[in-house]
Amino acid sequence: MLLPWLDDPALADLLGELSEAAGLDLRALGTTADADTIRDTAVAQPLIVAAALLSHSALGLRPDVTAGHSVGELAALAVAEVLRPSDAVALAATRGRAMADDAAASPTGMSAVVGGDRDAVLTAIGESGAVVANVNSASQVVAAGTLEQLGLLADGAPARSRVIPLQVAGAFHTSHMARAQEMVRVAAGRIVPGDPTVPLLSNRDGEAVTGGQDALDRIVSQMTSPVRWDLCSARLAADGVTGIVELCPGGVLTGLAKRELRGVPAVALNSPDDLETARAVAEGTHA
């Protein structure tokens, strides 16, 4: 994930600072660790935020608007200068450790429900006892709950839908993360945020957040409430966004954008080889 960026001494130095903030050797984790190691929520979250911020630094462009999905919202806060990069990665590390601990307390998980009638999908989730954790697009909702609840959802999947178990440690963005939320609340309380210097869209409702403290408070509340990426996409469309760059590690949000924001160029920035295309998309010169 990180190896392609580290030929740049400035990015290598930045990664050293982020590693110190996270209390983890992010260089080793992002270059030589195996998949099982980095799949650990406590490792994955700071690593994802660090990768996003390295790629953003390499891109070297100021966006017209920024947003992030789940833990990616911490990277978006750093891009908008609400948080320093080191604070964003440190908070991601706290968040990851706390969520991993809550996930280990009881067997829970998440499942994507793809396709089907939206009302029927929501009804099926409710009847299973699970709850909605993410609304990613018009055709994709993520449910979370106990493994028993997710099994009931799979058995009662609505017509023309598929229920796909996700490889995650627990039921994120639900009340199962209540203890983790308190740990993050304490850590966030030690940070003095700045106000966004570019429009920052919130996972809560897709609206632009104007105050730094509000943005940080939403990071805390996000842990037990649904991610409404569908509303973020709708706001991007309403605002007439003409190009989208997904920071490293990219792919999922670019895929959603190509379905939900048809005709808007989108590129996933996963290595320095993608920088030229990403700059062209960002500057509106991509053919």
The pLDDT tens digits for 29-49 are: 999 999 999 999 999 999 999
286 pLDDT higher than 80: no
pLDDT tier, 59 (very low <50, low <70, confident <90, very high otherwise)? very high
Query: Which pLDDT tens digit goes with each residue over 190-221?
Result: 999 999 999 999 999 999 999 999 999 999 99
Same domain, 124 and 219: no
- How far is the C-alpha of 4 from the C-alpha of 264, rounded, in Å? 27
> In this predicted structure, what is the pLDDT of residue 118?
94
Residue 206 · residue 113 · CB < 8 Å: no
- Is residue 17 located within the same domain as residue 42? yes
d(CA 256, CA 262): 10
Q: Which pLDDT does position 238 carry in this prediction? A: 96
What is the per-residue pLDDT for 145? 98
Shared domain for 113 and 85, answered yes or no, is: no
The structure tokens 């943005």 sit at 215
Asked if 248 and 72 count as a contact pair (C-beta separation under 8 A), the reply is no
Domain CATH number, residue 132: 3.30.70.250
Looking at the fold, whether 40 and 99 belong to one and the same domain comes out as: yes
Q: Are residues 67 and 200 in the same domain?
A: yes
Q: In which band, very low, low, confident or very high, does the pLDDT at 287 lie, cut at 50, 70 and 90?
A: low
pLDDT-above-70 percentage for the chain: 100
Judgement on whether residues 7 and 87 belong to the same structural domain of the protein: yes
Task: Classify residue 196 by its DSSP letter.
Answer: P
| Residue 178 burial (CB count, 10 A) | 11
Please check whether residues 65 and 197 belong to one and the same domain: yes
Mean pLDDT, the chain, rounded, equals 96
Q: Note whether 82 and 179 are same-domain residues.
A: yes
Q: Got the DSSP string for 207-218?
A: PEE--HHHHHHH
How many angstroms separate the CA atoms of 213 and 188, rounded? 10
Would you state the pLDDT for residue 285? 81
* Beta bridge partners of residue 110, listed in sequence order: 144
CA dihedral 89, 91, 96, 102 (to 10 degrees): 180
Q: Which element (helix H / strand E) includes 39?
A: helix 35-39
Q: What is the pLDDT of residues 227-239, one digit of tens each?
A: 999 999 999 999 9
User: Cα separation of 225 and 117, whole Å?
Assistant: 23
pTM of the model: 0.96
Give the pLDDT confidence of 94-150 residue by residue, as tens digits.
Answer: 999 999 999 999 999 999 999 999 999 999 999 999 999 999 999 999 999 999 999
Residue 145 and residue 15 share a domain: no
pLDDT at 82 over 80: yes
Total structural domains within the chain:
2
> 223 near 177, Cβ under 8 Å?
yes
In this structure, the answer to whether residues 23 and 79 fall within a common structural domain is yes
In a domain, 283, yes or no: no
Give the E-state strand segments of the chain in sequence order. Answer: 108-115, 131-137, 140-146, 161-165, 200-201, 208-209, 227-228, 244-246, 266-268
Same domain, 114 and 78: no
pLDDT at 263: 93
- Residues belonging to the active site: 70, 173
Parent domain of 12: 3-104+174-225
Helical H segments across 106-202, by residue range: 118-128, 147-155, 178-188
